[in-house]
């Protein structure tokens, strides 16, 4: 007797093995993706802190200044004759729910709220926490 295909048991065995592999690897893959998003967010926030420090010093600002996001543009609130001045920032910031940063004497402090993470900045040091879903 000649066989031309697989039996039902052989096919079921292959599907069970593939299912077990998927159950084992799915959490690993999702963890790696979350870590990558967190690292990207942290790197973007650190770059933003550097940009703010450079803008603050380039314009000879001495008193405390506040930087905020106006839409998708970073501005120094009430800088240069009480007008908002746009800060040149061309990086990809993975945020934009809300951000307010204060700088005084080159020390940046504030909070940036993203979709998945919140960055707390105190004296130029960035700490991240995961946002809880309600």
The whole-angstrom separation of Cα 64 and Cα 90 is 24
In the predicted structure, residue 97 carries a pLDDT above the cut 80:
no
**Between β-strands 73-79 and 83-86, what pairing exists: parallel, antiparallel or unpaired?**
antiparallel
The whole-angstrom separation of Cα 57 and Cα 72 is 23
Q: 29-58 burial by CB neighbour count: b if 16+ within 10 A, else e?
A: eeeeeeeeebeebbebbeebbebbeebbee
**Could you give the count of Cα atoms lying within 13 Å of 59 in the half-sphere of its Cβ?**
18
More confident residue, 53 or 86: 53
**pTM for this prediction:** 0.70
More confident residue, 121 or 99: 121
| Sequence-separated (6 or more) residues with CB below 8 Å from residue 112 | 45, 48, 95, 98, 99, 101, 118, 119, 121
Do 121 and 102 contact (CB within 8 A), yes or no?
Answer: no
What sign for the dihedral angle of Cα 57, 58, 60, 66?
A: negative
- The per-residue pLDDT for range 25-74, each reduced to its tens digit, is 988 888 898 899 889 888 888 888 888 888 888 777 778 888 887 666 77
Q: Give the residue-averaged pLDDT of 77-83.
A: 66
The C-alpha R_g of the chain, in whole angstroms, comes to 24
């Amino acid at each position: 007797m000649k066989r031309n295909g697989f039996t039902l048991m052989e096919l079921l065995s292959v599907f069970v093995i593939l299912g077990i592999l998927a159950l084992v690897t799915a959490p690993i893959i999702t963890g790696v993706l979350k870590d990558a998003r967190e690292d990207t967010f942290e790197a973007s926030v650190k770059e933003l802190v550097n940009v703010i420090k450079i803008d603050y010093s380039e314009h000879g600002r001495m008193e405390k200044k506040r930087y905020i996001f106006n839409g998708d543009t970073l501005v120094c609130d009430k800088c240069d004759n009480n007008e908002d001045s746009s800060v040149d920032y061309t990086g990809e910031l993975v945020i934009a729910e809300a951000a307010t940063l204060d700088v005084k004497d080159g020390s940046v402090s504030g909070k940036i709220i993203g979709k998945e993470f919140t960055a707390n900045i105190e004296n130029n040091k960035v700490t991240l926490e995961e946002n809880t879903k309600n």
